[in-house]
Amino acid sequence: MSDFGEIITAMVTPFDKDYNIDWKSMDIIMDYLIENGTDSFLIAGTTGESPTLSDREKIELFRFAKKKLKNNMPLIAGTGSNDTKHTIELSKAAQEAGADCALIVTPYYNKPTQNGLINHYRQISESLDIPIIFYNVPARTCCNITSATSLKLAEFKNIVGVKEASGDMRQIAEIIRDCPGGFVVYSGNDSDTFPIVALGGKGIISVASHIIGKEIKEMISLLNKNKLKEAAQMHKKYLDIFHGIFFTTSPIPIKKALNLMGIPAGYLRPPLYDMELQEEEKFVGLLTEYKLI
């Protein structure tokens, strides 16, 4: 399965009050997202609080999601780390658990060179049979994958796309312009979906789709029909939501939004913590303004 659609939801991981994975809530959230525009699921991404998930928990999540989705909808597994060997091991385990694709973030903290990044992804590509989407998010990793490097990675046999969250529109446009056929570019920021799809990108690996999935899908549909003015109006309409869910560390706001909407997203795992009262009041005001609560 290599067509992951236009909206891939980077799904939250619901935890109970003891910080264990809440499997009943996981089931409820997946049903809700399927009904609200999601084409594919990214499990154990940043929004899923992957830094606090053990490998065992990640594999359990992949198995649960695969059993739920069967072969009706793609499952993308977040398996990246800053250790090439560990990434390969976890990606192989995800493949065995039924994942249809691996999303692999740029190695963080150790700040590899561009040649180091190429070698990292080459080793992973050679070790896997499933497709790979690499994830460029310099704000979290302190390491940017340049457009030249992205285009080299796009030549690898099973690297099928990039989640681009650099916010550098020249870099992103160069990738879209020069990438080989079959390679896709997904926006990694909800606020960048409009310009990236307008440039020829595929869609969005989204956080906002938890609460406005149908609206994002409609905006992308308008872009694909060359109805630029109408799509731009939708982008501007939801711009405050796109930014509002990131006004403090994600996924703190989106979990709060879901819980307020009656969708059981549960607790945050430490070191993440609830927003301050003043922040919460402002965020509740935003959600109320958009009639989401």
Greatest extent of the chain over all pairs of C-alpha atoms, in Å: 50
Verify whether residue 32 is a known catalytic residue. Answer: no
Instruction: Measure the CA dihedral 230/38/53/259, to 10°.
Output: 80
Closest CA to 206 of 151, 149, 245, 264: 245
DSSP-derived secondary structure letter, 82: S
Verify whether residue 135 is a known catalytic residue. Answer: yes
Compute the C-alpha angle 44/140/219, nearest 5°. 70
Which tokens hold the place of 20?
A: 């264990």
- Our measurement of the distance from residue 113's CA atom to the centroid of its chain's CA atoms, rounded to an integer in Å, reads 24
Residue 75 contacts residue 62 (beta carbons within 8 Å): yes
Rounded to 5 degrees, φ, ψ at 70 are: 55, -130
Residue from 163, 202, 255, 256 carrying the catalytic annotation: 163
CA distance 223 to 131: 26
Sign of torsion, CA 206 209 212 216? positive
Residue 274 parent element (H or E): none
Residue from 58, 66, 135, 256 carrying the catalytic annotation: 135
Which residues are designated catalytic?
135, 163
